Structure 1
Amino acid sequence: MPRKTYPRDRFDDLPVSSGRVGAHRAENPRMRGWLVFAWAVVATVVLVALGIFASLIVSGRVTLFPTPVPTFASTPDVQPTLDTSYTVVVLNATGQSGLASSVKDQLVTAGFKADAVFASQAGTSDFAQTTVYYPTAADEAAALGLADLVGGARTELNDAYLRTTDPTAAHQLTLVIGLDHLASPSPTP
């Protein structure tokens, strides 16, 4: 095959000792080996920690958003005490007449002063459960004692039945006799 000759152009005048010919990328600067190693260690530690944390979540040992557990404060147990120094208002909230007077007699027999126990009819005759109302938390033990005396009445903190508007003079319990008192036999003191 015959050799062709081409006309001379500017590329024919390049120096022969330039070393590199064509499109080449520049040399990478020398990387510091310790920096690469440090980044590799950091990445390994982070990935291992994330893997352990994810496995704990999947296995149920760690909960991301736990529901709060309600805490209950224990209330001290109040022991029933029959305190005969209280004034007692007995209200008959049943249809049976004379029930308030018989309960008053029962309280006087148990040690309450006759002039400190007041018997009366309530404004209703269909009160369901016999209840002892006491005006302050300090009166709870005496209310429980009175409830036990009349045969297991329930107690409630409520000052609606106070005969006086002065809360410091409120040394009073109110016993509202309900229909359940008719069904149960009266306890003997």
Structure 2
Amino acid sequence: MSKPPHDRFDDVPRDSGRVGAHRAEQPGINGPIALLWSAAVAVVLIAVGIFVALVLMGRIELFPAAGPEPQQSPSVLAEIDTSYRVLILNATSTEGLVDSARQKLLAEGWAGDAVFGSDGSTSEFDETTVFYVEKGDEAAALGLAEVLGGAQVEQSDHYASLNDSTLPQMTVVIGLDYPGASTATPDGAETPAG
């Protein structure tokens, strides 16, 4: 058998102990940077795990169903109940709307001392609204709204502190949509609200 030709690798001393390919350490990767990357990945994985766990437990709803209308439930029928006291607040700049609303209620059977109010306001309210406190007052609030010509109805305890008697009370806030209410135009003249 013939001997292979002589090349430069034949002159490498055999006592160095290094044989084969040797790879140098990658430049730019050191201990602190690798530790920071590891911590960042761990935080992301923990956050994703907590989120998935909350979704699976039902604590977070990804696609919530549309809630019911805040207006009124269709099962409640309007009922005119004259046993309620009615506080009427005029939230427009038009004077005399409280008396107009009061006359409508008196014509439906409310007692004169059960209907009272305040005329004039510094801030204007867009829609006439009947506010009631308890869920059981909703039918009476709907009836009162019909008497006033189709006002909005909303459950709220905002005006509950104004009730100074043991009788149940509803509050009517007259807005710019009430018949006879007017709004100021830029030149200062008032025009009736449509």
Q: 1:71 to 1:108 in 2, by over 3 A?
A: closer
Distance in 2 between residues matched to 1:106 and 1:174, nearest whole Å: 15
Off by >2 Å, runs of 4+ in structure 1: 67-73, 121-125
- Asked whether the 8 Å contact 1:135–1:170 carries over to 2, the reply is no
Distance in 1 between residues matched to 2:66 and 2:176, nearest whole Å: 38
Distance in 2 between residues matched to 1:180 and 1:71, nearest whole Å: 28
Distance in 2 between residues matched to 1:173 and 1:105, nearest whole Å: 16
What are the superposed Cα offsets for residues 136-178 of structure 1, whole Å, 9 maximum, x if unpaired? 1010000000001101100010111122389xx4600101110
DSSP 3-state at the match of 1:182: coil
Query: What is the number of equivalent residue pairs in this alignment?
Result: 116
Q: 1:72 to 1:164 in 2, by over 3 A?
A: closer
- Asked whether the 8 Å contact 2:91–2:122 carries over to 1, the reply is yes
TM-score normalised to structure 1 length: 0.54
Q: State the AA in 1 paired with 2:157.
A: D
Alignment of 1:1-189 (within 5 A): 77-121=75-119, 123-162=121-160, 163-164=162-163, 169=166, 171-182=168-179
- Asked whether the 8 Å contact 1:92–1:120 carries over to 2, the reply is yes
What are the superposed Cα offsets for residues 23-54 of structure 1, whole Å, 9 maximum, x if unpaired? xxxxxxxxxxxxxxxxxxxxxxxxxxxxxxxx
- Asked whether the 8 Å contact 2:84–2:168 carries over to 1, the reply is yes
Q: 1:70 to 1:82 in 2, by over 3 A?
A: same
What are the superposed Cα offsets for residues 108-127 of structure 1, whole Å, 9 maximum, x if unpaired? 11100000000212543411
TM-score normalised to structure 2 length: 0.52
Q: 1:85 to 1:97 in 2, by over 3 A?
A: same
Q: State the AA in 2 paired with 1:160.
A: H
- Give 1:106 deviation, angstroms: 1.1
Mark the runs of 5 or more structure 1 residues left unpaired by the alignment: 1-66, 185-189
